[in-house]
Amino acid sequence: MVPISCVLLVDPHGRLLMQLRDGNAPYYPHTWGLPGGHGEPGESPEETALRELHEETGLSPAGPLRLFARQELPEQGLAKHYFCGATWARQEDVVLGEGAAIVFLTVDEVRDGRPYTPGTADMLARFLDSPAYADLAAGAADPAAR
Number of domains in the chain: 1
Domain that holds residue 77: 2-138
- Does 144 reside within a domain? no
Query: DSSP class of residue 145?
Result: G
Torsion sign, CA atoms 48, 49, 54, 56: positive
Least confident of 67-71, 73-77, 90-94: 73-77
Q: What percent of the chain has pLDDT over 70?
A: 95
Residue 7 has pLDDT above 90, yes or no: yes
Instruction: Indicate yes or no: pTM above 0.75.
Output: yes
Opening angle at CA 146, ends 17 and 34, nearest 5: 10
pLDDT band at 146 (very low <50, low <70, confident <90, very high): very low
* Ramachandran area for residue 46 (φ above 0: left; ψ -120 to 50: alpha; else beta): alpha
- Residue 22 is predicted with a pLDDT of 94
Q: What is the CATH number of the domain that holds 60?
A: 3.90.79.10
- Does 46 reside within a domain? yes
Contact at 8 Å (CB) between 114 and 98? Answer: no
32 SS3 class: strand
- Does 52 reside within a domain? yes
Q: What is the pLDDT of residues 100-128, one digit of tens each?
A: 999 999 999 999 999 998 889 999 999 99
- Does 59 reside within a domain? yes
pLDDT band at 140 (very low <50, low <70, confident <90, very high): low
Average pLDDT over residues 25-44: 93
Using a 10 angstrom Cβ sphere, with 0-12 exposed, 13-18 middle and 19 or more buried, the burial of residue 86 is buried
- Does 146 reside within a domain? no
